[in-house]
Amino acid sequence: MGANLQKESGPREVFCGLTSIVWLHRRMPDAFFLVVGSRTCAHLIQSAAGVMIFAEPRFGTAILSERDLAGLADAHDELDRVAKELLQRRPEIRTLFLVGSCPSEVIKLDLARAAERLNDELHGRVRVVNYSGSGIETTFTDGEDGALTALGPLLPSTDERQLLLVGTLADAVEDRLIHLFTRLGIQTVRSLPPRQSTELPPVGPGTTVLLTQPFLSNTARMLRDRGARVLSAPFPLGAEGSRRWMETACRDFNLPADRVAEVLDPLERRAHQALAPHRQILQGKRIVLLPESQLELSLARFLQRECGMELVEVGTPYLNRELMAEELALLPEGTTVMEGQHVDRQLDRVRDSHPDLVVCGMGLANPLEAEGITTKWSIELVFSPIHGIDQAGDLAELFSRPLRRRQRIEPALHPTTLHPTVHA
Amino acid sequence: MRGVHYVLHAPQGDTYADLLFTMIERRGERPPVTYTTFQARDLGGDTAELVKRTVREAAERFQPEALLVGESCTAELIQDQPGALAQGMNLTMPVVPLELPAYSKKENWGASETLYQLIRNLLKPQVPDQPQHDTQAWKAEGRRPRVNLLGPSLLGFRCRDDVLEVQRLLTVHGVDVGVVAPLGASVNDIQRLPQADLNVCLYPEIAESSCSWMERNFGIPFTRTVPIGVGATHSFLVEVHTLLGLEPPAADEGYQRSRLPWYSESVDSTYLTGKRVFIFGDGTHAIAAARICQEELGFEVVGLGTYSREMARAVRAAAKQLGLEALITDDYLEVEAAMAETAPELVLGTQMERHSAKRLGLPCAVISTPMHVQDVPARTSPQMGWEGANVIFDAWVHPLMMGLEEHLIGMFRHDFEFVDGHQSHLGHSGGSGADTESPTTSNTDQAKTATGLAWTADGEAELRKIPFFVRGKVRRNTETYAREKGHLEISSETLYDAKAHFKA
Ligand code: SF4
Ligand code: SF4
């Protein structure tokens, strides 16, 4: 393979897996996410979820106190009490996620046992599962991988022939993709996570899995263990990636190639039209992606192949070579792919290479802008409907917008010549 | 601060805190913080070695004049003693180890303790055997008196502009500002602190322990009045002048220099009289707000509370003066319940109270942290001094319905555009008070079953005629009255009886 794979370690600037709660709670409104952690964890979620937090809380933090640290027995009693109070106050909750954090992992609080105990006591009214979103074990989107894996044992079994789309999608994107797959001839298409935590899709030997997101390593393993076949494909970002992704499923379902082309060709033509204005801006521009979500490789592939950008460095917090094989194969020969991070050294490299655009987290975005380097803050990519052929234009727009903005306002805000005053 | 770097022993992920500075404060530089960002696989190995490596790298790369070393909540559990480790590394700059118990203390305590430790460590060599200090030394030395401004920081409420305003205020009175700290201060500035004649403690939550340490060790007194509000600014000036041996300023300076007094006196403000206000925030801002509401705007304070336990005593005293019981809590649900209970017409609080007020359909203004990005505005907007009072007048009156609209809605309740609860000056339909009924109604539904009280149709109809912003209060009073009298039903007559009863 052509990419130049490197590794780096040192100080990192990334979110922990707790952050995944910010979008998962919207995907499954009947679930509640109870973090077992410290004030720091509570503060993280509040800062990240900002205004939404008090509209109708669907997540909270059981804050460990000094007493809990002293005795684990106390901590378990306390957790039971908090969970029961919560469920009393919110009787409509159907699934309770106990989310582990760094403090709870370090003191070895057994949340799996706690979940089991609560399950027994609540027999069936509410299902309690647990996963870790701690910073020491998970980075940002890994949290979703943990949550989906935790749902594994609850998925019913089936032999039915079906396509399972795995990974959170925006509602509209999900509807659109399911519609297209049905038009292509796949009758049963289901999603994990579902929109209601009680409507979990079944899984079994007849199940073909398409991962919609690249960060689902453990979920993929869990589904394989349940007998499903997990397809290897590029991820559905951009027109090309999405098309290859869909075609992979179609081949697995033995759909006639001409039928597939008949449905997808017009979509692809329209996508190219939508991409054109953005390509004009992005073409030839040099880009660095810093590690954040594991979406970086797929984005880089899209930006290089469909928007004509030049890849200076592609960072990723974690590289699953097997899941990313197809993406790696599509990257140009010699592309630097950096797994892990030493944030200071990486920033030195960014400054040295002075790229046209840097995709980075919000802790770095404004400081880089102040140095005159245009940035695209990366978290937005997790909150935007970017999947599928029809979304290719919108996805490109997320990257062209900061460049357009700078072109538009820079001359006025940084005048280089002194205009002489005009006297009438 | 400048030239001070912080090495924080923390798990990967805790760097989210950078966003508070780069996004909410909109800073164009990375915070001077290096995190060790340990991961699970490091825990099996030598995390102490990781601390040392990080300290060494940070010291080399950033070459700070002083280094703070501390731990996050998770690091506290693994006990690597990073402060002691760093002190043993023979670094060229002073190292200040921080012990911040994450499981019992909170943000403001941490800021206060850090400033205190930094000042104590850096000034230790200068401490005299006998604290002696003359606040009037400036006279003999033939220079203007000089004060330090202590307390302003990033992520504080409007600190940027408060500093400018207080600086201007003091300069007008012939007083120079020596050092401002921690905001923008360098290690050298900290070392110059003892050269001032007086310390001005602008934010007690952050600076009181440092001020009192300097008082004990150098004999430098510090001011206790925080100049938020016209009255408080005047008291503050009197305090500063007296301590420095200056003639206190004229009593009407506030009237001359701030617009709040005249705006509040002018007839347009008459309708503000007796508006019921609920106040919650940090101790300093809550106490200041109570005084302004009561004495300068003519509101009635119906609730006062704080989440600053360190300020509990002062807030209790302030509440007692208003005939209230202070609410000391950090549980937002408790605050929301108290808010609903007192049925105010205006809420002055933090970002959290904004959420609660929205849910209860009450007008609200933010007076204290925690805050969001909109409370770090581009325009100059102090809370302190004469201009601060102007900003406050605008900000607190704006969410209220304007006088004329209030009258007309009270008279004609059948309009198709200006409906109940509508505030057309806020430029949207179905204004912020529009859904005020729903929460109150559900509360009384419970009350009904609990107490057996029932509103008759004509009682309900009469209640709906009460302007929406006092309706909650009238409902509550009437129910209290009915209960006292042993009525089971509430008709329009009961409502009028209650009204007369409570006015009498
Ligand atoms: S990194 Fe760990 S301690 Fe920090 S917020 Fe995330 S889970 Fe909590
Ligand atoms: S103001 Fe917003 S970000 Fe700040 S603590 Fe409150 S909810 Fe969180």
ipTM summary value: 0.89
Distance of CA A149 to the CA centre of its chain: 15
Name the least confident of A97-111, A348-362, B405-419.
B405-419
Say if B208 is an interface residue toward chain A (CB within 8 Å). no
Catalytic member of B46, B134, B268, B415: B268
Residue A389 confidence (pLDDT) above 90: yes
How far is B120 from B310, CA to CA, in rounded Å? 21
Determine the pLDDT at residue B440. 38
What is the pTM (predicted TM-score) of this model?
A: 0.88
- Determine whether the shortest distance from the Cβ of A237 to ligand 1 is under 6 A: no
How far is B22 from A55, CA to CA, in rounded Å? 26
Mean pLDDT of B395-411: 74
Determine the pLDDT at residue B476. 87
Residue B412 binned pLDDT confidence (cut-offs 50, 70, 90): low
Choice between A125 and A350, residue whose per-residue pLDDT is larger: A350
- pLDDT tens-place string over residues B177-192: 999 999 999 999 999 9
Query: Is A362–B14 a contact, with Cβ atoms under 8 angstroms apart?
Result: no
Determine the pLDDT at residue A74. 77
For residue B371, the distance in angstroms to the closest alpha carbon of chain A comes to 10
Residue B415 binned pLDDT confidence (cut-offs 50, 70, 90): low
Share of chain B above pLDDT 70, in %: 90
- pLDDT tens-place string over residues A86-106: 888 788 899 999 999 999 999
Name the least confident of B84-88, B316-320, B471-475.
B471-475
Q: Which residue has the tokens 């329209």?
A: A270
Say if B215 is an interface residue toward chain A (CB within 8 Å). no
Residue A35 confidence (pLDDT) above 60: yes
Residue B24 confidence (pLDDT) above 50: yes
Mean pLDDT of B363-382: 94
Residue A106 and residue A75 in contact, taking contact as beta carbons nearer than 8 Å: no
| A137-171 residues labelled b (16+ CB within 10 A) or e (exposed) | bbbbbbbbbbbbbbbbeebeebeeebbbbbbbbbe
Across the A/B interface, how many CB contacts are shorter than 8 Å?
129
- pLDDT tens-place string over residues B71-80: 999 999 999 9
Atom of ligand 2 nearest to the CA of B369: 1
Average pLDDT, chain B: 90
Q: Which residue has the tokens 């925030």?
A: B281
Phi/psi for B366 (5° steps) reads -90, 130
Atom of ligand 1 nearest to the CA of A43: 5
Mean pLDDT of A141-170: 97
Determine the pLDDT at residue B402. 65
Residue B268 is a catalytic residue: yes
Separation of A48 CA from ligand 2 center, angstroms?
8
Determine the pLDDT at residue B501. 85
* Alpha helix ranges (H) inside A123-165: 142-151
Testing the interface with B: which of A67, A74, A106 to mutate, by most B Cβ within 10 A? Answer: A106
Query: Is B103–A65 a contact, with Cβ atoms under 8 angstroms apart?
Result: yes
Taking CA atoms, what residue in A is nearest to B34?
A11
Name the least confident of A259-273, B52-66, B250-264, B447-461.
B447-461
Could you tell me where the beta strands, DSSP code E, fall in A144-293? 162-166, 189-192, 207-211, 229-230, 286-289
Choice between A98 and B499, residue whose per-residue pLDDT is larger: A98
Query: Is B22–A364 a contact, with Cβ atoms under 8 angstroms apart?
Result: yes
Residue B95 confidence (pLDDT) above 50: yes
Taking CA atoms, what residue in A is nearest to B372?
A50
Query: Is A14–B34 a contact, with Cβ atoms under 8 angstroms apart?
Result: no
Burial of A321 per CB tally in 10 Å (0-12, 13-18, 19+) = exposed
Determine the pLDDT at residue B411. 65
Choice between B403 and A354, residue whose per-residue pLDDT is larger: A354
Determine the pLDDT at residue B433. 39
Residue A397 confidence (pLDDT) above 60: yes
- pLDDT tens-place string over residues B209-219: 999 999 999 99
**Residue with CA nearest ligand 1 atom 5:** A41
- Determine whether the shortest distance from the Cβ of A53 to ligand 2 is under 6 A: yes
Determine the pLDDT at residue B431. 40
Determine the pLDDT at residue A419. 66
Mean pLDDT of B238-247: 97
Burial of B405 per CB tally in 10 Å (0-12, 13-18, 19+) = middle
Determine the pLDDT at residue B393. 97
CA dihedral B155, B161, B163, B165 (to 10 degrees): -160
Burial of B139 per CB tally in 10 Å (0-12, 13-18, 19+) = middle
How far is B252 from B262, CA to CA, in rounded Å? 12
Mean pLDDT of A170-187: 95
* The pair of three-digit structure tokens given for residue A62, joined into one six-digit string: 């059981």
- Determine whether the shortest distance from the Cβ of B330 to ligand 2 is under 6 A: no
Average pLDDT, chain A: 93
How far is A241 from A264, CA to CA, in rounded Å? 12
Ligand that lies nearest to the alpha carbon of residue A102, given by its number in the listed order: 1
Residue B482 confidence (pLDDT) above 80: yes
Residue B161 binned pLDDT confidence (cut-offs 50, 70, 90): very high
Determine the pLDDT at residue B430. 42
Q: Residue A96: how many CA atoms within 13 Å on its side-chain side? A: 34
Residue B391 binned pLDDT confidence (cut-offs 50, 70, 90): very high
Tell whether omega for the bond before B370 is within 30 degrees of 0, i.e. cis: yes
Say if A139 is an interface residue toward chain B (CB within 8 Å). yes
How far is A192 from A200, CA to CA, in rounded Å? 7
Chain A 77-106, CB below 8 Å of chain B: which residues? 102-103, 105-106
Name the least confident of A51-55, B39-43, B463-467.
A51-55
Residue B444 binned pLDDT confidence (cut-offs 50, 70, 90): very low
Determine the pLDDT at residue A383. 83
Residue B299 binned pLDDT confidence (cut-offs 50, 70, 90): very high
Separation of A60 CA from ligand 2 center, angstroms?
14
Determine the pLDDT at residue A51. 56
- Determine whether the shortest distance from the Cβ of B370 to ligand 2 is under 6 A: yes
How far is A36 from A99, CA to CA, in rounded Å? 6
Separation of B40 CA from ligand 1 center, angstroms?
12
Q: Which residue has the tokens 């809590």?
A: B329
